[in-house]
Structure formats: structure tokens, C-alpha cells
Amino acid sequence: MEENFSTRKLLSGAELKELNTKSDLAGALQLGSHVGAILVLGYLHYLAMGSWWVIATGFCLGVTVNFLYAAQHELSHWTVFRTRYLNELFGRTVGFLMMFPRDYDLTMHQAHHRWTANWERDGELTRAPYTLKSYLLYFWGFTYWQNRVDGLVRRARGIIIEPYISKALEAKIIRESRLHILGYLVIAAASVYFQSWAAVTFWLLPMVLTKPVHQMQNTIEHLGLTHESDILNNTRSTRTNALMRWLCWQMPYHTAHHSYPSVPFWQLRKLNDKIEDAAGEVHRMGWIEFQIEVMKRLMQKDESQWPMDDVWIVPAKGGRQVRLEA
């Protein structure tokens, strides 16, 4: 996914070329530290078994596992590693853990970048408008996981309904879905055979129960913004701290990412500064602030009744956006 889908030319060719530089070292440090954190937390979770500390370790483990999707996202952009095949290798591995096959994710996400906020064509926006009830069901993970599992099973059965999956890709995505399900069945069979709850204890249960933390980043990026094609007005960045930016693989700089998707994650802070120098400050809110505002708005009326061509979720005080803190 190396095409630049930005609708604004905010950088010179030389600036973009410099920012597009990929690095095996930067990718290895980010992926290695993320996986290392999961392994350490998994060990702490093991030590905490039988005590109340298991709640804290399970929460931290689940959050770090959920945010592995940030790794899959970047790997689908082919920007984590300079060595191309490493992006695919680790992308398929992480996609299996996320129950989100890589080929499907890559196709869906490419459509999301090509047609951001286009209700019919955006690969991540092909859904019914939110009501307060449907939003809360999605935010807490109920419909999120239902859609994830139902979609995987349906595609494994050879039924493709996604408008962004071309005929040429159908067989590939169907085969990938079947291989994923086969892999999960093997894990289930091995768990029964060895009478082990390890897959549930260290993977599935923490990931499912802590999904709402990950949803705070997922939902803030485009909801409540204009459905027009202007990237600077249909994409929102996140006001957060350095730890969460590391965990999110710098995706809180989301407007920068959508403006130039070919720029690697570790260059997004620099890209964000250049964009704001050229075009002014971008839309930005904090996670909790955003959730409060979106629920307030949906209590008034559902998403279909809010304007499609205007920003309708704004900071509570309507004040000036501020840059992310270091």
C-alpha cells in the first residue's frame, strides 16, 4: 500500500522522499519491544494466578495484545521493515493472533485509504449509522467480535459480500480464511488433548475483555467528522501520551498517516509537525473526551441525523486544538 492517497500537497517531493525512508532497525525495535512487553506481562500473569493480581496482569496483557493490531496495520502498509518479505511474514502472524487475516485486512484497509469516509466504498465504514445502543454494543466489543467471527466463517464458506473485494482477490481471501479456521481448530484440539486452558488464559480471554480500551483509538479516528474527501477534515488525531503513542505505533498522529500513508510510523511525529506548519493544526481530541462527546450526541439523535458534510463531534469547550505533548 504505497500509493499516496492524500488530497492535499503539503510536502515537497524531497521532503516526502526523506520521510518515506524505511528502516529494518526501527521496525525491529518497535515490534520487538511490543512482543517483549506481551511476553513479560504473560509471565507476570502466570505468576499472579490464584491471587487478585491476576485482574491487573490480565488487563495489561489484554491491552497490549489488542494493540498488536497497530502492528498489523503498519505491516499491511509495508512500512515496518525495509526488507519487504518481513512485512508479510509478521503481518500474517499477527493477523492470525488478531483473528483478522492479513489479505483481507490489507484489502479492506486499502479501500479505507482510497475512499476515506465514503459510506459506500470505505472498507472500514460499510455499516449502518450508529444509534447510542449500536455504538455501545460495538464499543464494548459485543458486535465487534460477532462481526469478526461471522465474517471469517462466512468468507471461509466462500461467501463474499464486501464491495471492496474484487473478483480477482476472492479465491485468495477465501483460502486464507479457511487456513485461519483450520489453525484455530488445531489449537482447540490441542487444548482439549492436553487439557490446557493456556490459549484462553493468555490470549483469548484477555484480548476479548479489554477490547474497549482498543476501541477508544479505533472509534476516535473518523467518527463525527465530515464525509467529504478532504483528509484534514475527515480524519482526527488523538491527544495522548508517549506510552500510548508507542503502544499505538504512533497512530495517534492519524491525520498525518492518512495524508501520506507511505510514511513509516516512526516518522509520523515529524510529518505531523510539517503538516501543521503548512496547513495549521489538525482535528484532535483525547480518548475519554471523545467518548463523552460522542455518547452525548448519540443520546440526542442517531448518526444518520447528524451532518454528513460537517464536523459534528468537537472538543467539549470548542477551544483551540493543541499539539501533542512530547
Cα 232 from Cα 9, distance rounded (Å) = 12
Distance (Å) of CA 262 to CA 86, 273, 324: 17, 17, 22
Q: Is residue 317 part of a domain?
A: no
Total structural domains in the chain? 1
C-alpha cell at 309: 458534510
Contacts 24+ apart (CB under 8 A), 271-279: 271/11, 271/19, 272/237, 272/324, 274/10, 274/11, 274/15, 274/19, 275/10, 275/11, 275/232, 276/323, 278/10, 278/11, 279/8, 279/10, 279/232
pLDDT for 242 beyond 50: yes
Cα 275 from Cα 264, distance rounded (Å) = 15
Of 224, 251, 265, nearest to 125 (Cα)? 224
pLDDT for 326 beyond 70: no
Mapping DSSP to helix (H, G, I), strand (E, B) and coil, where does residue 233 land? Answer: helix
Which pLDDT value is given to residue 180? 98
pLDDT for 58 beyond 90: yes
pLDDT for 83 beyond 90: yes
Distance (Å) of CA 54 to CA 169, 202, 213: 43, 11, 18
- Residues near 180 by Cβ (< 8 Å), separated by ≥ 6? 96, 99, 101, 152, 156
Q: Is residue 193 part of a domain?
A: yes
Q: Is residue 8 part of a domain?
A: no
Question: How sure is the predictor about 123, in pLDDT bands with cuts at 50, 70 and 90?
Answer: confident
Distance (Å) of CA 251 to CA 67, 153, 239, 261: 11, 29, 11, 11
Distance (Å) of CA 22 to CA 18, 200, 247: 9, 36, 19
Which of the residue ranges 142-146, 232-236, 314-318 would you say has the lowest mean pLDDT? 314-318
**Which residue range forms the structural domain that includes residue 262?**
21-300
pLDDT for 278 beyond 60: yes
Q: Is residue 121 part of a domain?
A: yes
Which pLDDT value is given to residue 323? 40
Question: How sure is the predictor about 9, in pLDDT bands with cuts at 50, 70 and 90?
Answer: confident
pLDDT for 318 beyond 60: no
Phi, psi of 200 (to 5 degrees): -75, -45
pLDDT, one tens digit per residue, over 172-184 is 999 999 999 999 9
Residue in the block written with cell 502492528: 71
Which pLDDT value is given to residue 322? 39
89 in Cβ contact with 102 (< 8 Å): no
Q: Is residue 7 part of a domain?
A: no
Q: Is residue 312 part of a domain?
A: no
Q: Is residue 166 part of a domain?
A: yes
Average pLDDT over the chain, rounded to an integer = 93
Q: Is residue 325 part of a domain?
A: no
